[in-house]
Structure 1
Amino acid sequence: MPSAVPFQIVVVGGGIAGLCAAIALRGPGRQVTILEQSRLLSEIGATISLQPNASRILAKEWKLGAQLDKADGMVDEGFRIFNVEGKMVNSVPLLSKTEYGGDRMMYHRQDLHKALQAAALDPDRSGPPAIVRTASRVASCDCATGSVTLESGEEIYGDVIVGADGIHSVLRDAVVGEHINTIPTGLSAYRMVLPNSVLEQKCPTFCEHIKPREPATSMMMAHSCRLIMGPARQGDIFSIVGLVPDEKMNEDANQKQSWVSRGDLDKMLDTYRDFPEWMRDVFKQADDLGLWQLRDTDPLSAWTKGRVILIGDAAHAMLPTQGQGASQAVEDAEALGAFFADVDTVPSVERVQQSLKEIVECRYERASLIQKYSRDGAKPATEKGSTEVKMSPADFMDYNCTYPGAKTWFARQTAKA
């Protein structure tokens, strides 16, 4: 029988990683508390992909069908590469293989976030709904005692503390024992989301070439710049990410970059001057042009200490070139649920530490390899130099997407050892 005193789980961060952790860890005899630093539990306005390894977990393991239906996701059926004349030079179908068990899904981040939030708070799911505390910025963490101190001075204790507080994680410094600087990767990115109705009205030549309502991801490259584009919300909106070398940006590399930094349209038009005019005309339709500097981290020396474990970008921040950032956070959360599945009373500190250790053993090598491959994928094709990643892109797609879940993966890795 569950203990009268619940197993207390504190999740620091109310983004996609934190909400996934809350969903995975809910259960009888447990209370999950999410601490979100902002005053609103909300996500930024952009699109996001979930790869088959993650979409399978959401739909089949966590049974989020009802919530995901409201998120209005699109199945991404292919990857298309265009030259600057607008001619498609390569096409890679992305319809799911049977062994993947899921599709590559495209969402508006806000829609996916709302769906995950609804699941974390759903009273009809197993265990008490998560408690969400907004305006709760964590200032420090004592890993041994399992306590976090808010900027207000309030201390909050948990039997397990999940650090899902992103690339600028406070908990990461506490776990590793030093401040970890994020690494500029040599790229910055523009981001814009436009209604397809606007594109059809004002940019008909673009629509003839790219067909923005079709369920596919498109890329156009010239020299050191590239555009990655695709629809969401059943083709109602179209997202564009423009990757450019850092020296093309008016950014301070020592400052934290946010999703809402404002880009300079004139500078973007000049940077993409080798692209066709019908492509550049699209940039002029954006009401809000965002930019940020792409950073990641090297693999950390530790993901866990005492009662604390890091997940998502706090543990393994990676570039978007593989589309695996959010998907790896989903895998992290699934591992938390799997390795604590049989705990229905307050666990001892020894049990907590053993489970956290096994989660890291299960997740570290895989996430670190995908992190390296994502960094390598951002380099120009002409760049010389060796890489630690030995698989081809097709092999890596299989490696990414045939993930069977944490327990099975851990058993395989243990057997190999």
Structure 2
Amino acid sequence: MPLSTPFRIIICGGGIAGLAAAIALRAPGREITILEQSRLASEIGATISLQPNASAILQREWGVDSVKEARGMIDHGFRIFNVEGKLVNTVPLVSKTEYGGDRVMYHRQDLHACLLRAATSKNRAGQPAVIRTSSKVVDCDPLEGTVSLESGDQLVADLIVAADGIHSSIRSSVIGCEVKAIPTGFSAYRMVIPTDVLAKEAPEFTALLQPAKPFTTMMLAHSCRLIMGPAREGSSYSIVGLVPDGKLQEDADSKQSWVSRGDLGQMLETYKEFPEWMKAVFAQAKDLGLWQLRDIDPLKTWTKGRVILIGDAAHAMLPTQGQGASQAFEDAEALGAYFEDVHGIPNREDVEEILSKVFQCRYERASLIQEYSRDSTKPATAKGSSEVTLRPDEFMDYNCGYKGAKEWQSRSVAAAALE
């Protein structure tokens, strides 16, 4: 029989991180409300990758077959081409058996819809999460466990999860001061183009790069970087173009929104030194996004009272390691693991203690991945001051060889005992 008064959980943010947290925290006797400021409108063409550490959580911990349900494309490795269209290097990805999961590319809308179904399904443990759209959070009292909405409504919860992104409105209530996102000197164009359109309109590109093949493809030239790969079972092709802000023909500071639009003419001007067969691909973009890449420095804490920051609100990082969403999945898994044995309604002291354990488990790992993601944008000559001492292959193991929060914590404790 359900409790007459449930354990009330409010999740601020209905994106990837917020939905992941809802899935992880679902259990009998809990009432989960997700507050999303938008109407969950579709985004400008965008894909998203989940690394093996996140794919394993989806499959192992939550029983979500996202490859099937979200039309994911399992990545077989990285390919690097020069601007003449010649393959100069291939780095195969380690098989699923070693890391417990695959690197998978999705269209962001498909993955979001898959997570939304899992969070609100009646066939999972606990009550389905309830989504409240057009619910913008403007204030939060971590000690009282309240959030105030732009509409004037005030909601009360036993646990508040702030998954409201890099420009989090809750972060200052936790940290005690405003933390602004930092420009990193790069902006990114993004587009998704059907592969049949590429075959027709950009045949030379299609012949050289074979975009339907399950590989992430990179091209570096003229201070710019292209990162490309298939999604939706090879029917769509994603292109992200990283551009130094100094080369951008548009105002980078005005492009901080995830749904900011780019100007195709200005993009073609920026990439004018690239070969015609590559520029022919850009011309096929129907929805062109552009956003300035920003991150934040590691915070002093993610928790206060009944509130915890997760995902980009806690540790926004650059996309160079493809770990932004995957680290949000790890945050969600940690919440689920440490609240797993909580039955009934925890008091504030209990919540504070559990959130402190989540933070201690997650902070060092997420902060190091933040640092490495930032470091990856720097020229080789500027990397001497980095705090990251692992080689790229070692860091791949560090990123992907993750078996869950409690196992990671046990490993860390055992390592510290040996020192």
TM-score (norm: length of structure 2): 0.96
Distance in 1 (alpha carbons) for counterparts of 2:59 and 2:383 = 41
Map Cα deviations across residues 97-141 of structure 1 (whole Å, 9 max, x no partner).
522001001100000000000000000100000011011000000
Cα offset, 1:94, TM superposition: 1.1
SS for the counterpart of 2:170 is: helix
Partner of 1:46: 46
Matches within 5 A, 1:368-383: 368-383=367-382
Partner of 2:16: 16
CA contact (8 A) 1:184 1:295 kept: yes
CA contact (8 A) 1:76 1:95 kept: no
Q: How many residue pairs are counted as aligned between the two chains?
A: 416
Cα offset, 1:414, TM superposition: 2.6
Partner of 2:161: 162
TM-score (norm: length of structure 1): 0.97
Amino acid at match of 2:278: M
CA contact (8 A) 2:163 2:311 kept: yes
Cα offset, 1:167, TM superposition: 0.5
Partner of 2:275: 276
Partner of 1:135: 134
Question: Which ranges in structure 1 are unaligned for 5 or more consecutive residues?
Answer: none
Matches within 5 A, 1:334-349: 334-349=333-348
Residues 43, 114 of structure 1: alpha-carbon distance in 2 compared, 3 angstrom cutoff: farther
1:241 is aligned to 2:240 = yes
Amino acid at match of 2:223: S
CA contact (8 A) 1:188 1:245 kept: yes
CA contact (8 A) 1:106 1:232 kept: yes
Question: Which ranges in structure 2 are unaligned for 5 or more consecutive residues?
Answer: none
Cα offset, 1:80, TM superposition: 0.3
Cα offset, 1:309, TM superposition: 0.1
Distance in 1 (alpha carbons) for counterparts of 2:4 and 2:211 = 55
Cα offset, 1:384, TM superposition: 5.2
Residues 41, 125 of structure 1: alpha-carbon distance in 2 compared, 3 angstrom cutoff: farther
Query: Which piece of structure 1 moves more, 372-381 or 242-251?
Result: 242-251
Distance in 2 (alpha carbons) for counterparts of 1:173 and 1:251 = 31
Cα offset, 1:95, TM superposition: 4.2
Residues 211, 68 of structure 1: alpha-carbon distance in 2 compared, 3 angstrom cutoff: closer
Residues 256, 349 of structure 1: alpha-carbon distance in 2 compared, 3 angstrom cutoff: farther
Distance in 1 (alpha carbons) for counterparts of 2:181 and 2:371 = 14
1:29 is aligned to 2:61 = no
SS for the counterpart of 1:170 is: coil
Partner of 2:124: 125
Cα offset, 1:369, TM superposition: 0.2
SS for the counterpart of 2:395 is: helix
CA contact (8 A) 1:14 1:41 kept: no
Query: Which piece of structure 1 moves more, 32-41 or 368-377?
Result: 32-41
Map Cα deviations across residues 204-240 of structure 1 (whole Å, 9 max, x no partner).
1001111000000000111310100000001100000
Distance in 2 (alpha carbons) for counterparts of 1:78 and 1:226 = 18
Residues 180, 256 of structure 1: alpha-carbon distance in 2 compared, 3 angstrom cutoff: farther
Distance in 2 (alpha carbons) for counterparts of 1:339 and 1:384 = 37
Matches within 5 A, 1:65-214: 65=65, 68-214=67-213
